[in-house]
Amino acid sequence: MKSDNKQRALTQLQRRILSLDLAPGQALDEVVLCQQYGLSRTPLREVLQRLAGQGYVQLTMHRGAHVSSMDMVTMRNFFQTAPMVYAAISRLAVEHASADQLVTLKKIQMRFRRAVSNAAVADMVEQNHRFHEAIGEMAASPYLSPSLERLLIDHTRMSHRFYRSALSGANSQVDVACDQHDRLIAAIEKRCVSGAVAETLAHWELSRVEIDKYVQPDALPFDVLETADASESVG
């Protein structure tokens, strides 16, 4: 069946973009992708259009598809928009979450925890993405979901170095994030709006600080010889 290939191409390309295997701004060659996924150009182009609609890639006339870039302008917008949307999504999730969805969410969180204990960076990143995606699905908001998805695309791509810091650091922030996930699940299960929103904002703040550190990292110590692994822990 060919529509399987199509679905697979869509999912795989999303994954490759989120994992930075396909770098922001990178050009995508239709013919190459056709061969990789066993599709002819027509359905592959439909996949690219879908990805463009979701914000993963950018299409320009006669110039093909490029992986969405993350420039400084969008960064500012990201910080302005993310907490509001995340909080709103959590609020709606509390209202609408079904028992099935909670089960799914807990499963994802289990996989996330396992990835953390295995120190599997790529897996952490992916499961964290899926965690927040699942909460977005709970919110069941056709209006807000597209914004959440776009935020998550860039947030996930920025989070790689955050999770990489878990490898070296002993008391890593990743464990804190993991606990926040648990408390968020509990709040949603108890239908506690204020708790869910508070936990969401705390989770955001943790992430924001880490990203901030990267954008404006601590000055290197004067004694340069001892800094070899210090730069790692900045994450």
Residue 71 binding DNA, by CB under 7 A: no
Letters for 119-158 (x = contact with a copy of itself by CB under 8 A, - = none) are ---------------------xxxxx-xx--xx--x----
Query: Least CB distance from residue 66 to DNA, whole Å?
Result: 9
Buried b (16+ CB within 10 A) or exposed e, 116-148: beeebbbbbbbbbbbbbebbbbbbebeebbebb
For DNA, the closer CB: 13 or 121: 13
* Burial bucket for residue 11 (CB in 10 Å: 0-12, 13-18, 19+): exposed
From candidates 42, 117, 171, 216, binder to a copy of itself by CB under 8 A: 42
Letters for 194-233 (x = contact with a copy of itself by CB under 8 A, - = none) are ----------------------------------------
Letters for 27-56 (x = contact with DNA by CB under 7 A, - = none) are xxxxx-------xxxxx-xx----------
Letters for 76-95 (x = contact with a copy of itself by CB under 8 A, - = none) are -xx-xxx-xx--x---x---
Query: Least CB distance from residue 47 to DNA, whole Å?
Result: 9
12 and 48 Cβ atoms separated by less than 8 Å: no
- Give the one entry of a copy of itself, DNA, none that residue 92 binds, where binding means its C-beta sits below a cut-off of 5 to 8 angstroms depending on kind: a copy of itself
Assigned token pair, 212: 């901030």
Assigned token pair, 108: 């994802």
Stretch that binds a copy of itself, among 28-36, 73-81, 159-167, 193-201 (CB under 8 A): 73-81
126 and 67 Cβ atoms separated by less than 8 Å: no
Q: How far apart are CA 79 and CA 62, in angstroms?
A: 33
Residue whose structure tokens are 């790529």: 122
* Burial bucket for residue 75 (CB in 10 Å: 0-12, 13-18, 19+): middle
- Please report, as a single letter, which amino acid is at residue 25: G
The residue ranges that bind DNA (CB under 7 A) are: 1-3, 6, 27-31, 39-43, 45-46, 59, 61-65
